[in-house]
Structure 1
Amino acid sequence: MRPPALAVVGWSGSGKTTLLTRLVPELRQRGLRVGVVKHSSDAHPLHLEGSDTARYAETGATFVAFANPAGVQLTFPEPPGQVLALLERFADTVDLVLVEGWKQGPLPKLEVWREGLGPLLAAERQDVLAVVSDSAVTGAAQRFAPDDVQGITSFLQQCLRDGMLRTTD
């Protein structure tokens, strides 16, 4: 079983990360356990070249973890399309997973849009629940200003209650 999840999508530089760093504390303050996944279409290295963890990953380990007093980083050698499998691993530990990116994934979406960066996805997609933008938008059921963190959080809580944050696969 997968936990409820929402992809926060938008063009590079639109403010996705900034929004997420403001939403997570607000959601937590309202009692929700929130996980975040950063999705990238680019193949960024997960380990420093030549590091012990890189060497372990090269051996074909099922997972590699790096633990220190600051926390734990856990990596799996799964292809990037396996975000849904990752969500399943944490179903019992979170109430909501926010995925930054993954425009083409089967999750409902919150689009962060800034004029001049690229076309508005919500105008042509049914899976965009709302748009976060300073500009007026058409084709979106709901629009929030980027600084309306409380309004966005309330909207996400309503989506959770209504069962709208499930995968479409």
Structure 2
Amino acid sequence: MKVIGFAGYSGVGKTTLVEALVVLMTQRGLKVSVIKHAHHHFDVDREGKDSWRHRKAGAYEVLLASDQRLALMREYPQPMELSVQQMLAQLDPAVDWVLIEGFKHGDLPKIEVWRHQQDRLDSGKPLQPLYAQDARVLAVATDAAADLPQLPTQPVLDLNRPEQVLQWLLARGPQLEYRN
């Protein structure tokens, strides 16, 4: 499987880009998995459903399966942050691509998504790009190349042209092969 991350600040368009890439890849017959970083409490279950009741009763894991879908929910007794590698180990190894959204400080290859955002601040300071300090950022996808805070040494891709991003990924497929 080939693995690539999409990192950047909140609201820059990571989800939109990943969604478009999933569509384009599956149209080409590729099998794609997505790992999305979520913050703290989130739920994929609905109150009152049998699986929710089992989980609330104290089950460590609840696996839901039908002839069309499988979902595994695991409850940790104490907060526990999984590494991206631990999450990758949970996936079907037969997929062609894994697109990882978030984990901007993760240690896998990534594309930084940078949208024109000069008015956005982080702790009172202008947002700093990852590409200037993280060697794992292989490219920058942006809608405003001329407005980047500094000129990247990495390739600059058009955020509004997911087909271009896909072609760039496919051309680099061998170097993105995941080796655990």
Q: What range is the shorter-chain TM-score in?
A: 0.7 to 0.9
User: Structure 1 residue 119: deviation in Å?
Assistant: 2.1
Give the direction of change, closer, same or farther, for the CA distance of 1:75–1:119 in structure 2 (3 Å limit).
same
Aligned partner of 1:146 in structure 2 is 159
Where do residues 1-169 of structure 1 align in structure 2 (5 Å cutoff)? 3-49=1-47, 51-58=49-56, 59-61=58-60, 63-67=61-65, 71-77=69-75, 79-116=80-117, 117=120, 118-136=127-145, 137=148, 138-161=151-174, 163-166=175-178
The count of aligned residue pairs is 164
Unmatched segments (≥5 aa) in structure 2:
121-126
Question: How does the TM-score come out when normalised to structure 1?
Answer: 0.81
Q: Please, which moves more after superposition, 48-57 or 34-43? A: 48-57
Q: Please, which moves more after superposition, 64-73 or 38-47? A: 64-73
Q: Is the Cα contact below 8 Å between 1:4 and 1:166 reproduced in 2?
A: yes
Q: Based on CA coordinates, which of the two structures has the bigger radius of gyration?
A: 2
Q: Is the Cα contact below 8 Å between 1:108 and 1:166 reproduced in 2?
A: no
**1:51-110 deviations in Å (ceiling 9; x for gaps):** 53234234243x323346874332233633243223123243301111110112221111
- Output the CA distance in 2 between the equivalents of 1:165 and 1:92: 12
- Output the CA distance in 2 between the equivalents of 1:149 and 1:20: 9
Fraction of identical pairs, as percent: 31
Question: How does the TM-score come out when normalised to structure 2?
Answer: 0.76
**1:102-148 deviations in Å (ceiling 9; x for gaps):** 11222111111113243211111111111111122322411111122
Give the direction of change, closer, same or farther, for the CA distance of 1:140–1:42 in structure 2 (3 Å limit).
farther
Give the direction of change, closer, same or farther, for the CA distance of 1:165–1:14 in structure 2 (3 Å limit).
farther
Q: Please, which moves more after superposition, 48-57 or 24-33? A: 48-57
Q: Is the Cα contact below 8 Å between 2:3 and 2:176 reproduced in 1?
A: no
Give the direction of change, closer, same or farther, for the CA distance of 1:54–1:90 in structure 2 (3 Å limit).
same
- Output the CA distance in 2 between the equivalents of 1:83 and 1:51: 30
Aligned-partner residue type, residue 158 of structure 2: A
- Output the CA distance in 1 between the equivalents of 2:75 and 2:170: 33
